[in-house]
Amino acid sequence: MQAVLRKRDDRVAGWLFLLPVLVGFLIFYAYPTVRGVWYSFTDYSLLNDPAYVGADNYRELVGDGQFWNALKVTAYYVVVNIGSQTLLALGLAALMHRLTRSVVLRAALLVPWLVPNVTIGLLWAWLLDPDLGFVNHLLGVVGVDTTLSFNSPTWAMPLVALVNSWAYTGYTALLLYAGMLQIPQGLYESASIDGAGEVRMFRSITLPLLRPIIALVLVVSLIGSFQIFDTVAVVYGGKAPIPEARVIYYYIFQQAFTYFHMGYAAAVAMVLVLVLGVLTAVQMRMLRASRSDLG
């Protein structure tokens, strides 16, 4: 029977099945990728034709303090965001795994993930309003003497990071929880007979067996985290953020569409491609090295 399938000539059918995707890919992925690389070597303002300038954009970038600041701010954001979000999600997933299988609870935890980042930014801009925000009111009630605000250079980036952690923790927890469900229940039962407590079981059973899923979740959320834009664009009222919150995506956006430095923006985007490429490669390597003992 295999032979019947093998003999069929799918040459025509194959390309016909691929046609719509190929058209979409060539026009909106492949072509712009080539064009993006080309723009990064040009001086282009959207109004004139791109003029080749060699590596000038890249040379300018090396001495551009705002660019380095954007990288630094983004890295800070990613560390706070991924760190808090992954730890909280891991805890939440472990709690659910040991306590309940409720679908309603899981659905409720998923709500913030379903909502546009623009809405989430608006909601937290309101909750953190210096005068009328409910969170600042609560802080006052508890006796904390700080007013949290996106306009505070110290608080801006941690706040944006925590807001996005709030939005994505439930989703991340559900991914980890699904992984935990794959761990044989018997392991917990025998550990419990041997007198191991919950904390001990989490450390010696859940964590090691979940390693590959944790790694996969980390790769995906890290790449997503670098692309922070919407929240920053919204919590500053649609105006440019303070420098302490000018993340790399926003910097590219600003260069391209506020100053019309298309070529320069493309060069900055190229750097982002490289950074993400290296990070993914490193993580993939770690992912391979950390196969679960379950195989």
Partner 1 sequence: MLKRASWLALVAALVVTVFPFYWMIRTALTPAADLFRDSTALWPSNPTLINFTRVLGLVSSEEARAAGGSGAEIDFLLYTTNSLVYSGLIAVVQTFCCAMAGYAFARLRFPGRDLVFGVIVAALMVPPIFTLLPNFVLVKQLDLVNTFPGLVLPSLLMTPFAVFFLRQFFLSIPRDVEEAATLEGVGRWGMFWRIVLPMSRGPLITIGLTTIVWSWKDYLWPLLVGKAEETRVLTVGLGVFLQQSPNRAPDWTGLMAGSVLSVVPVLLLLVFLGRRLVQSLNFSGMK
Residues between 272 and 291 that touch partner 1 (CB under 8 A)? 272-273, 276-277, 280
Site for partner 1 in 151-190 (CB under 8 A): 166, 170-171, 174-175, 178-179, 182
Torsion of CA 207, 208, 210, 214, to 10 degrees: 80
Minimal distance in Å, beta carbon 276 to partner 1? 6
φ, ψ for residue 155, nearest 5 deg: -90, -20
Q: How far apart are CA 56 and CA 58, in angstroms?
A: 5
Site for partner 1 in 105-124 (CB under 8 A): 105-119, 122-124
Selection from 159, 166, 162 nearest residue 242 by Cα: 159
Minimal distance in Å, beta carbon 275 to partner 1? 9
Q: How far apart are CA 141 and CA 25, in angstroms?
A: 55
- Site map for partner 1, 49-88, x if CB under 8 A? ----------------------------------------
φ, ψ for residue 150, nearest 5 deg: -70, -15
What DSSP state is assigned to residue 242?
P
- Applying CB under 8 A, which part among 12-20, 55-63, 77-85, 144-152 lies near partner 1? 12-20
Q: How far apart are CA 233 and CA 245, in angstroms?
A: 10
Selection from 271, 270, 269, 275 nearest residue 254 by Cα: 269
User: Between 27 and 55, whose beta carbon lies closer to partner 1?
Assistant: 27
Site for partner 1 in 229-258 (CB under 8 A): 229-230, 233-234, 237-239, 249, 252-253, 256-257
Q: For 116, how many CA atoms within 13 A lie in the half-sphere containing its CB?
A: 6
**128 binds partner 1, rule: CB under 8 A:** no
- Applying CB under 8 A, which part among 62-70, 79-87, 103-111, 188-196 lies near partner 1? 103-111
User: Between 189 and 198, whose beta carbon lies closer to partner 1?
Assistant: 198
Binding partner 1 by CB under 8 A: which of 146, 154, 227, 290?
227
Binding partner 1 by CB under 8 A: which of 83, 130, 153, 197?
197
Q: For 92, how many CA atoms within 13 A lie in the half-sphere containing its CB?
A: 22
